[in-house]
Structure 1
């Protein structure tokens, strides 16, 4: 099905430019649309649409520093990263946060760690479980 659009998600944002910068820089996504009320970021296989919250709703939301995690939502996004350790550093510099290394876990060939973006949305980051276990340029047979 090569002619289908990319899979993706829509995330509503109080501070649209800040959230776009977080995902653009942390996940090396490309901004393909930048309008007043929405920003579209893409990777080769995924599209993330960030949409401004209606003003009345945005006024009712307080973003703390560091942001309080929004744990009462039914969806959690997850994204692949080359290195969770590097993502932890980048996320902190961009206003987000990842749990400490002690909270990482492994399953089905990946290592995962939850964190949050600058608005408190919980996001999971995943790396190949073999990261850090093999010397560079060494591939399993």
Structure 2
């Protein structure tokens, strides 16, 4: 079987809030949307934001979805500038890091629901 990854879907509490977050901070294009769903284009892949069911949302006590997925955005500007731009908008960002024999700088942040995203820039 040959496949191509098309879309990653996040089940979220507030579709509209996260739509605005990803559209405004990462310039993602809205492909489609309705009351419980938004599909954003992120280059070679789409990101779907689907409203989670009420019974699941009630089990989450904090503002975190506790998932194990990280979205990685490769940036064209210097990673320090990208990080500072997001921090200036009140977005929580960690320090920039890299690994031995790895050709990228990395910096993690979190969206309004606690989902982790990463900025990536070639050295």
TM-score (norm 2): 0.77
Change (3 A) 1:52 1:30: same
Partner of 1:80: 74
Equivalent-residue separation in structure 2 for 1:15 and 1:85 (angstroms): 29
Equivalent-residue separation in structure 2 for 1:110 and 1:24 (angstroms): 25
Out of 13-22 and 89-98, give the one that drifted further: 89-98
> 1:70-106, CA deviations, whole angstroms, 9 ceiling, x for partnerless residues?
4xx43322111224334324434555321034xx215
Change (3 A) 1:82 1:14: same
Task: Please say if residues 95 and 108 of structure 2, whose CA atoms lie closer than 8 Å, have aligned partners that are also in contact.
Answer: no
Count of residues paired in the alignment: 118
Task: Please say if residues 88 and 97 of structure 1, whose CA atoms lie closer than 8 Å, have aligned partners that are also in contact.
Answer: no
Change (3 A) 1:39 1:69: closer
Displacement of 1:31 after TM fit?
A: 0.6
Give 5+ residue unaligned stretches, structure 1: 130-141
Change (3 A) 1:51 1:92: farther
Equivalent-residue separation in structure 2 for 1:94 and 1:48 (angstroms): 22
Equivalent-residue separation in structure 2 for 1:69 and 1:96 (angstroms): 17
Equivalent-residue separation in structure 2 for 1:69 and 1:86 (angstroms): 28
Partner of 2:111: 117
Change (3 A) 1:57 1:90: farther
Partner of 2:98: 105
Rg bigger for which structure? 1
TM-score (norm 1): 0.69
Partner of 1:36: 35
